[in-house]
């Protein structure tokens, strides 16, 4: 294995971003451990490169299974250079009426799966002197506020907070963390992968309307093949950002959100500072 070749460990490889990443990494000459609940769904990806590919069974909500899969990948290829937490899904329901067990089940995959894989990978990456952890969040994990997918977006916000700490704790070991924030891409995320619970009439204009928008072509403009190729190239780059919005809507939405938050922070700065001992108090609130 040439030094330039990367070893990838990718979750959720059976379709969407995960499958595109497996294909892009193999096309670049890399080695891939592709995981899925049903590994037979990804076995076809390695037929042309059996020496550079292994399909592993994995349910990311099962911590013991995660430990076994990470260990198997490291044993097969001798190292893991890039860990990709891609497995995830979203179901649609209002917070008020959605089933709590469904909300929790989504969180088990979308957040706890990331926790299990990241934790299992740290000793491998630390022991070899570094590596890259790519966490798939979403535009919603940066901007938020999309009616109907509260569990999904809450998990994505949690991934950001978790990953900031992960980055701070593991940077001395040579480990880098990249949080990817896509907008709408041409994957099955909003298709058969997404279950929609009954939406009461009072939520037709919010949850119902957003459910229809998600399934429209207007929010699936992103090309997962291009996105995968970008990430494979980025894994070889020395200057890796912490956040990477992917897609026009993600980029523009993130910039708008950041500018809005910065304006809010500056507008209320004097009020916030006044809570500390030694600061002027009371102070006037900003004009309405």
Q: pTM here?
A: 0.93
Which listed residue (118, 137, 211, 254) is catalytic? 137
Q: Is pLDDT at 193 greater than 80 in this prediction?
A: no
pLDDT digits (tens, 9 = 90+) for 243-271: 999 999 999 999 999 999 999 999 999 99
Is 183 a catalytic site residue? no
How many residues belong to the chain? 288
Which listed residue (118, 151, 152, 163) is catalytic? 152
Q: Is pLDDT at 135 greater than 90 in this prediction?
A: yes
Angle at the Cα of 106 from the Cα atoms of 103 and 109, rounded to 5 degrees? 150
Cα dihedral 246, 252, 256, 259 sign: positive
What pLDDT, on a 0 to 100 scale, did the predictor assign at position 33? Answer: 98
Q: Sketch out the chain's domains with CATH numbers.
A: 7-272 (3.40.50.720)
pLDDT digits (tens, 9 = 90+) for 31-70: 999 999 999 999 999 888 999 999 999 999 999 999 999 9
Return d(Cα 121, Cα 177) in angstroms, integer.
12
Estimate the crossing angle of helix 224-234 against helix 16-27, to 10 degrees: 50
Which listed residue (6, 118, 156, 254) is catalytic? 156
Tokens 């001395």 identify what position? Answer: 172
Estimate the crossing angle of helix 63-77 against helix 113-128, to 10 degrees: 30
- CA nearest to 225, candidates 18, 72, 38: 18
- CA nearest to 153, candidates 165, 163, 143: 143
Whether the CB-CB separation of 73 and 30 falls below 8 Å is answered with no
Is 156 a catalytic site residue? yes
Whether the CB-CB separation of 113 and 86 falls below 8 Å is answered with no
DSSP secondary structure letters along 78-147 = S---EEEE------B--TTTS-HHHHHHHHIIIIIHHHHHHHHHHHHHHHHT-EEEEEE--GGGTT---T
Is 118 a catalytic site residue? no
Q: Is pLDDT at 81 greater than 80 in this prediction?
A: yes
């Amino acid at each position: 294995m040439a030094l330039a070749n990367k070893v990838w460990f990718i979750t959720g490889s059976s379709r969407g971003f995960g499958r595109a990443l497996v294909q892009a990494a193999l096309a670049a000459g890399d080695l891939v451990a592709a995981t899925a609940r049903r590994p037979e769904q990804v076995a076809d990806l390695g037929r042309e490169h059996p020496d550079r590919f292994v399909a592993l069974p994995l349910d990311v909500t099962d911590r013991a299974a995660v430990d076994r899969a990470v260990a198997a990948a490291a044993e097969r290829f001798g190292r893991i250079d890039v860990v990709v937490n891609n497995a995830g899904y979203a179901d649609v329901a209002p917070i008020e009426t959605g089933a709590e067990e469904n909300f929790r089940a989504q969180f088990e995959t979308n957040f706890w799966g990331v926790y299990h894989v990241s934790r299992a990978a740290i000793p491998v990456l630390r022991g070899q002197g570094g590596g890259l952890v790519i966490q798939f969040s979403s535009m919603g994990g940066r901007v938020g506020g999309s009616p109907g997918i509260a569990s999904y977006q809450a998990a994505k916000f949690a991934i950001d907070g978790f990953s900031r700490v992960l980055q701070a704790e593991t940077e001395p070991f040579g480990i880098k963390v990249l949080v990817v924030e896509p907008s709408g891409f041409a994957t099955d995320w909003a298709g058969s992968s997404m279950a929609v619970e009954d939406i009461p009439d009072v939520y037709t204009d919010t949850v119902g309307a957003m459910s229809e928008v998600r399934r429209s072509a207007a929010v699936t403009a992103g090309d997962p093949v291009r996105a995968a190729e970008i990430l494979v190239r980025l894994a070889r780059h020395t200057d890796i950002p912490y956040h990477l919005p992917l897609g026009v809507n993600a980029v523009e939405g993130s910039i708008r959100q950041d500018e809005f938050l910065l304006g809010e922070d500056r507008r209320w700065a004097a009020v916030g500072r006044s809570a500390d001992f030694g600061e002027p108090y009371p102070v006037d609130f900003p004009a309405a």
